[in-house]
Structure 1
């Protein structure tokens, strides 16, 4: 092993990528030669914070892989997913807090016109606008995770398989039929995500995100964590590079390394992504892109970057199964914790219990997001995703975003409004998903059976579906 390829040298290189951000964020202003990130300007802030996110993502991936030596892989990946999407929570929580502190109740916002809310003419109107932004940012993040994350990583995995020889990639005859197969142990995550998705269709019917949504969605995630943390430690998969090096360390040093990597990378991601996303928003708005569009699509794309980088790292190690587990776990915690905690943050800012309101357009955004999730789960229910299926997910996602941008900017006259466009796509996703579930009903039954057995095993009971065991 050359000195430059030594694992500690690789860790030092990743730390070096975060050094600039550490200097300006934590040391800026302490010395005259070190500016704060506000003094850097928008472009330099985007560069410095973006590079720090890249370095932190490597550290986070190494920490999660090292942790698999001592805890169930699913739990290590769940921790990774929470840390990777922490910036998304922070951005959404900020908008929910502003909505609550401004008194944006469902009744108060209903009395305002859509134009007044959009323009933020008064403090109350701005608070109602922030409530809508909280939902828009959340739905945008969830759709990006599937439309770009799931789809892009599937295609990237198949493409890289020629060099990585990833055993999870299946060469099949037919046009774009090569597929990535998933570990059947992911059935637990898929089942809980399916339950959360079904509930999400009913959220808009309540007029806002309320305590019932919090109880059910957060409850689902807590139950999920309770099941996977009781799983067995899987030490069979051989790691290479930095994780392999740290896994050779003895107790208690190995867990201390894992906790340090998690804490440092989490701090970097949490502090750097918001300025990174905000800088991109500013650049976009200055170039004529509407604020709402930037907050729904560009800001979440920036905040989702850590987990996408982590998954690319895993795929390059021929660990696509772990990569997809991370993506699905990220989707699950965003679709449960992220939605469920918005009402809590809103109520804390409001000073009493309250319901986070949203307008008719955001109701449609929730429906299309739930429908996209429903369709994507119908694809994954047989534990594989082909290149053709991945491209279908991407084309449906990107075409809707582009068409909505055309409508918002009035570039070309289209015979429907932005709201109607969302409903059309939601219906298309729902119909396609239902058709796939009917065709793959045996796979759905198997997936639910595997998830049920995981729950029974966590409670110390014997599985009742031995026919689904590997």
Structure 2
């Protein structure tokens, strides 16, 4: 092993990418927008590598699903922070469904009063949350699937299956992920109901946060598995003895988590400012550009895993991220809103944001129909991306009045919601046996956690 390829040298290189941001933060140095984006972006990159190595190293001592769940929470922590900020401003501004109903959409958009700005920020909280969720599937799931197949020629990833037909090559997923998919299915079903309650309130928080706590409790009872694919830095640290190995894991998680939490917000804000300077509307920037920046650590981490032929762990991380955003994120912003409001309340949003929630839930429904047979092909990934990007581009064209279309943004969202639902239902009908099989596996995971024998033979082996 050459000195430059030694694991500690690689760790040092990743830390070096973060040093400038640490220095800027500690010294309180003011930077221009472009410099802030560059330096914070490098810090996010370095922190993402450290986070990926920490999660892989942790698999030596804790269940893999739990290590990936921790990774997912840390990687998307900035998204929680951004949404929490808007939810807090909404509560502090006294934005309630009754108060916001007294204002016109134009008054809310202008934000001339404290209440109007609070109502506007309540809508922004939903826009940022739905944008992040749709990016995770439309770009994350789809892009990583394509990248996995592309890299398989070099990595010899056994999860990639070459099949006859146009764009038929597929990534196969570990059936142990049935638990995550089943929980995501429940969260998606609940999301369709959220707009019917007039906002995000206590019932939503109790159900969604309770769902995630149950999931974590379940994966903690999973067995610790050894991986034959661990190489490089994680393999090096896994050879360390106790208590040094868990200390290294905590250090990697802690340092990378703090960096991601502090660097992503300025990175995203800088990109927003650059976009606004170039005439891109605020709402569009907050819904799409800011979440794309905050999802960057997660996508980098998964890319690192796929590049090491660990596509199963990569997809586990993506699905775990979607699950915690679809449960914890929605549940916690309602808590933050209530604290700022000074009492128990329901985070309000307008009809446009209700449609945003519906299309986000419908996209999740369609994506689950794709994964129900534990595969995602290149063809399916392209469809996922195509539906996502076409809706975003059409909405941008409507906002900027680049196209004269016979419908508005609300109708566009409802139309895509119906399209996702029809396509997803058709897939579930074709794959109904796979759906029953998936819930059978998830049910056996519950039985195993309770100390009972699994029924399905794949878990019994």
With the shorter chain as reference, the TM-score category is over 0.9
Determine if the alignment matches structure 1 residue 188 to structure 2 residue 215. no
2:128 aligns with 137
Determine if the alignment matches structure 1 residue 124 to structure 2 residue 115. yes
2:10 aligns with 10
2:299 aligns with 308
1:54 aligns with 45
Partners of 2:331 and 2:303 in 1: CA distance: 29
Matched residue SS, 1:385: strand
Determine if the alignment matches structure 1 residue 286 to structure 2 residue 254. no
- Give the one of 249, 254, 258 matched to 2:240: 249
Normalised by the length of structure 2, the TM-score is 0.99
Which string of whole-angstrom CA distances, capped at 9 and with x for unpartnered residues, describes residues 251-277 of structure 1?
000000000000000000000000000
2:400 aligns with 409
Partners of 2:36 and 2:93 in 1: CA distance: 30
1:21 aligns with 21
Q: Report 1:198-277 matches (<5 A).
A: 198-277=189-268
Partners of 2:313 and 2:344 in 1: CA distance: 40
Count of residue correspondences: 461
Partners of 2:342 and 2:152 in 1: CA distance: 54
- Give the one of 400, 409, 417 matched to 1:418: 409
Shift of the alpha carbon at 1:461? 1.4
Shift of the alpha carbon at 1:15? 0.2
Partners of 1:192 and 1:338 in 2: CA distance: 15
Shift of the alpha carbon at 1:467? 6.2
Partners of 1:118 and 1:430 in 2: CA distance: 31
Q: Report 1:31-70 matches (<5 A).
A: 36=29, 39-70=30-61
Matched residue SS, 2:158: coil
Shift of the alpha carbon at 1:459? 1.3
Which string of whole-angstrom CA distances, capped at 9 and with x for unpartnered residues, describes residues 236-255 of structure 1?
43411000000000000000
State the 4+ residue runs in structure 1 displaced beyond 4 angstroms. 467-470
Shift of the alpha carbon at 1:469? 5.4
Matched residue SS, 1:416: coil
Once superposed, what is the RMSD of the aligned Cα atoms?
Answer: 0.8
- Give the one of 94, 99, 102 matched to 1:111: 102
Determine if the alignment matches structure 1 residue 336 to structure 2 residue 327. yes
Normalised by the length of structure 1, the TM-score is 0.97
Determine if the alignment matches structure 1 residue 385 to structure 2 residue 385. no
Partners of 2:129 and 2:227 in 1: CA distance: 37
2:308 aligns with 317
Which string of whole-angstrom CA distances, capped at 9 and with x for unpartnered residues, describes residues 62-112 of structure 1?
000000000000000000000000000000000000000010011001111
1:395 aligns with 386
Partners of 1:246 and 1:467 in 2: CA distance: 32
Shift of the alpha carbon at 1:468? 6.5
Which string of whole-angstrom CA distances, capped at 9 and with x for unpartnered residues, describes residues 165-186 of structure 1?
1000000000000000000000
Shift of the alpha carbon at 1:221? 0.3
Alpha carbons 1:86, 1:270 under 8 Å: kept: yes
2:443 aligns with 452
Matched residue SS, 2:165: coil
Matched residue SS, 1:208: coil
Matched residue SS, 2:246: helix
Matched residue SS, 2:405: coil
1:31 aligns with none
Partners of 1:5 and 1:466 in 2: CA distance: 43
Alpha carbons 1:446, 1:468 under 8 Å: kept: no
Alpha carbons 1:449, 1:468 under 8 Å: kept: no
Shift of the alpha carbon at 1:385? 0.2
1:33 aligns with none
Which string of whole-angstrom CA distances, capped at 9 and with x for unpartnered residues, describes residues 257-307 of structure 1?
000000000000000000000000000001000000000000000000000
- Give the one of 122, 137, 140 matched to 1:146: 137
Alpha carbons 2:187, 2:326 under 8 Å: kept: yes
Partners of 2:227 and 2:182 in 1: CA distance: 25
Unaligned runs of 5+ in 2: none
Alpha carbons 2:55, 2:71 under 8 Å: kept: yes
Which string of whole-angstrom CA distances, capped at 9 and with x for unpartnered residues, describes residues 119-152 of structure 1?
1121100000000000000000000000000000
Partners of 1:26 and 1:461 in 2: CA distance: 53
Partners of 2:267 and 2:458 in 1: CA distance: 49
Shift of the alpha carbon at 1:353? 0.4
Unaligned runs of 5+ in 1: 29-35
Shift of the alpha carbon at 1:463? 1.3
Alpha carbons 2:66, 2:219 under 8 Å: kept: yes
